[in-house]
Structure 1
C-alpha cells in the first residue's frame, strides 16, 4: 500500500531511541523527509546520516524555545510541516498517594506544554494548506490507568483531552488528530518501569516481566516496529477520515471496548 507520504515533511521529537526512533525509520521508509530531535546531539546526527532524507538535532522540547527550533530545522531544510508526531519522555514511576502537586506540574511540563507549543508552530500552515496529520504517542494508561505510573497517567490524560478537543476543531480543514497508545512494547522505558516494580516489590525483574507478559492475550511484548507501522498508517493519505481516535497497539491488553 502506498501511503502517499513520499515528499511529505514530518517532525518527530524524542526520537533518538525507542518508539520515536522506530517512527522516524518507518516514515523515512515511506519516502518522507524527517526532522527529528533528542536531548543528545550526537545520536541524532548519527541516526540522520543513516537515513535518505533526514535531519537530527539536539533539542529539549520542554524548553520554551525547543519546539520552535525543531520545527525551524524542518522548514529550513525541507519546507512546511505536513506530519507532526508528538513524543517525549515520561515522568518517573510514582504512586498516586505519594504524588505531590509539584509532581503533577512536572508531568504537565513533560507531557503537555511542549507538545502544545509544537502544535502551535505547525497547525496554522496545515490548516491553510488543507492537509495535516498530528499523531501523539500516548499510553494505554490513558484508557486504563497503570499502577505505579500516576504522574504519567495524569500528564498523558491531560494531553488526550486537549487533542480530542482539537480534532473536532480542525477536522473540516483537512487536519486529522489522533493518538496511538502503546501497550507493553520492548523499549528502554519498559525496562525502567519493570526495574522500579522489581525494586519496590523486592522480587527479580525477570519475574516481573514474566507476570506482565502473561497478562497480554497475544502472549508476547510488542516491538517498536509494529507500533511505528500503526503511527505511519495514520500519517498517510488513506487515514484521511480517521480523526479524534485512540488506536491501541497492545496485543489485546486493555479489555475496554
Structure 2
C-alpha cells in the first residue's frame, strides 16, 4: 500500500510524523563475540584494521501506554546461550570461524534479575512481542523462556525462506522450539498501511507514533530497523540499526556528516583515547588512498543478501544519522560500552547526556595505526611518516637527533630529556604525547642500554651493577606499569619492542651482569606477551650483536670515548665471531624494529629475533 503523508518533526533530512514518547532501555544481553575478521564484514580493507574488537550484542526494550494499557516489546535478543545447539547449518559454520563467543546469561535472565528501579519490576509475561531485526544467529537469542503469549515478529520473506524450521527443515537456521506454541507475525510492508520516516517505509507499531518498525532491507532477508521516540518538545529518536551496519565506518562520513565534524568531535570527546594525530588531511588521505571519496563512508558492507539494496538502506539511514536529534545504535556497537546507561536505567535522556556526540566517531580508534602510521609498514621511522617522542637522559643526545633531521621531519619528533628509569618520566611522556600528537604512543621501543666495564663478575662495582639493571630492565617494568594500563583503557593494540642482546644467548664472562639483564628482558618479553595478548598488546625482543654504536667502545673496555687505531684489534677480534663478516649497524636493528612495529607483524608476539650476523649459530 502507499504510505500516508504527514508533517515531519524529525528534521529536513529525516522527517518523522508527530507522536507519543516511549520509554526506552538498552539491555546488555551479556553476549559477546571476539575475533571477527574485518574482511568478513567490511570492505575495502584498511591498513592495521584486521580484527574487530570484542563486540557486544544489545537488546532494546520499548514501552508505551495506549488507552490506559502498558505495552512492551523487545527488539532483538542477542546471542543464544548455547550457540552450538543451534541448527547444524549455523553451528557447523560457527565452528569453522574460530570466534570466541561468550554468553553468561540469556536475555530473559538479564531482564528478570535486573528488574526494578526504572525497569519497573518487569516480568517476562509483560513482554507482548519479541522482534528479530533479522534471522541471524546472533539476534535470535533464546525465545523459549518467554511465555506463549509473547509473539515473535519477523521481517518480510521470513516464512518463505526459512520455514519449515529445523529439524523438519534440515537447512533452516531457525529452531522449531522458538516457534512452538506462539504466534509468528511476519511484517508485510507492501500490504499494510505504512508511514514515511525520512525515505524509509515504517509501520507505526503501537499506533501512537512512539515506536516504528522500519523497512531496512539489504543485509539479510527481512531485515528490520526500529525508531523510538525518546522525548518530545523537542522530539528525539533512537534509531535501532540491527545489522544495517557492523561498524561506524559503514555509516560515516556521509554527504551530510563530514570528516570535519570527526576532527572536531575527536578534539572535544576523544583526545585521551589514543586515536592518533587525527587531522582532516589524514582522514581524507585514508579515504582517497583506498579509492573512496572524502564524503563517502569508510566502508561498504560485505555480509549482505542484496549489496545494492544494502547501500540504498545505508544511504537512507545516513539522512537520520546526520540529524542531531537522532541517535543511531547498531546491535553490536562496542563504542557505547561504558558510556551509556543500561537496563534497568532508561536511555531516554541520551541527548541531554551527550551520548551521540561521545560515541559517534569513537570507531576511529580502530584506525589508529593507519592514521598515526605507527603500525603501518615501514612507518616506524621518521622518514616514512611516524610521529616519534624520543627520551634521552642527555640533552645533547636529543639535540643531535633533532639537528640531524630535515626541516620537514623535525616537526614530527618531540624530544624529552629525562631518565627512563624514573616513573615520572613515563607519565611526562604520555602527557607530552597527548599534547603534541593528541594521542598516546602505540609503540614503545625500549632501546636504552648500559654495559659495565669488562671485569670478572666478582669485581664489578655495586653501583655499576645497579645501573645496568636500572637502565636495561626497569624501563620495561615502567612501560608495563604506566603505559600498558593506558592502552587497555583506551583499547589500544599497543606493542612493546625491547632491544636485548645476543649476549643473553651467548654470554661472556667479562659482561656477565649486562648479559644477565638482557636475559631478564628475554624472560619478561615472553611472559608479558602471554599475559597481555587478550588485550591485543604485543611484546617482542630484538637481539643485536656487537656493532657500531656509541656503546661499542665501552664494550671493549674504554670509558666514554670513541674508537682509536689501537682499538682496531679488538674490533677485528669481534668481527671474526660474525659469520656474515661485518658488525651490526644501527640500521639493521632499526629495520627489524620497523618490521615488528608494522602491520605485517601483527600476528607476532612473545618472539625474539637475532640480528647478529650469525653470531648465535657460529
**Normalised by the size of structure 1, how large is the TM-score?**
0.81
Alignment partner of 2:469 out of 84, 93, 108: 108
Match of 1:65, SS? helix
- Match of residue 119 from structure 1: 480
2:387 aligned to which of 17, 28, 33: 33
Query: Which residue does the alignment assign to 1:81?
Result: 441
Match of 1:58 among 417, 434, 452: 417
Q: Which residue of 1 aligns with 2:87?
A: none
The match for 2:601 is 239
SS state of the match for residue 60, structure 1? Answer: coil
The 8 Å contact of residues 472 and 518 in structure 2, kept in 1 or not, is answered as yes
Distance 1:26 1:173 in 2: 22
* Cα distance in structure 2, aligned partners of 1:44 and 1:64: 20
CA offset digits 1:15-61 (Å, max 9, x no partner): xxxxxxxxxx9522232111011122244145336235110121111
SS of corresponding position for 1:170: helix
1:62-101 CA distance string (max 9 Å, x none):
2342222223222221112200111213132243232366
**Which residues of 2 match residues 91-240 of structure 1 at below 5 A?**
91-93=451-453, 94-99=455-460, 103-128=464-489, 129-196=491-558, 204-240=566-602
**Alpha-carbon distance change, 46 to 221 in structure 1, aligned in 2, over 3 angstroms:** closer
Q: Which runs of 5+ in 1 are unaligned?
A: 11-24, 198-202
- Post-superposition offset of 1:134: 0.4
**Distance of 2:47 and 2:383 partners within structure 1:** 11
Query: For 2:416 and 2:440, how far apart are their aligned partners in 1?
Result: 17
Structure with the larger helix share: 1
CA contact (8 A) 1:186 1:222 kept: yes
Q: Name the CA distance, whole Å, in 2 between partners of 1:167 and 1:82.
A: 16
- CA gap 1:231/1:3 in 2 versus in 1, 3 angstroms: farther
Q: Is the 8 A contact 1:99 1:150 kept in 2?
A: no
**How far did residue 156 of structure 1 move?**
1.8
1:3, 1:30 within 8 Å by CA — same for their partners in 2? Answer: no
Equivalent residue of 2:460, what SS? coil
Contact 1:6 1:31 in 2 (8 A): no
Tell which structure's C-alpha radius of gyration is larger.
2
**Structure 2 spans left out of the alignment, 5+ residues:** 1-45, 49-368, 560-564
Give the secondary structure class of the aligned counterpart of 1:61.
coil
SS in 2 for 1:97: helix
RMSD: 2.7
Paired positions, count: 236
Distance 1:227 1:239, change over 3 A: same
Give the CA deviation at 1:206: 1.3
In structure 2, relative to structure 1, the CA distance for the partners of 1:241 and 1:91 (3 Å cut) is same
- Indicate if the aligned counterparts of 1:68 and 1:118 stay in contact, CA closer than 8 A: no
Which of 143-152 and 46-55 deviates more? 46-55
**Alignment-derived partner of residue 14 in structure 1:** none
Deviation of 1:3 after TM superposition, in Å, equals: 8.0
TM-score (norm 2): 0.36
Task: Tell me if the contact between 1:45 and 1:57 (Cα under 8 Å) persists in the aligned partners.
Answer: no
1:44 equivalent to 2:398? Answer yes
Per-residue deviation at 1:222? 1.9
Structure 2 equivalent of residue 8 of structure 1: 372
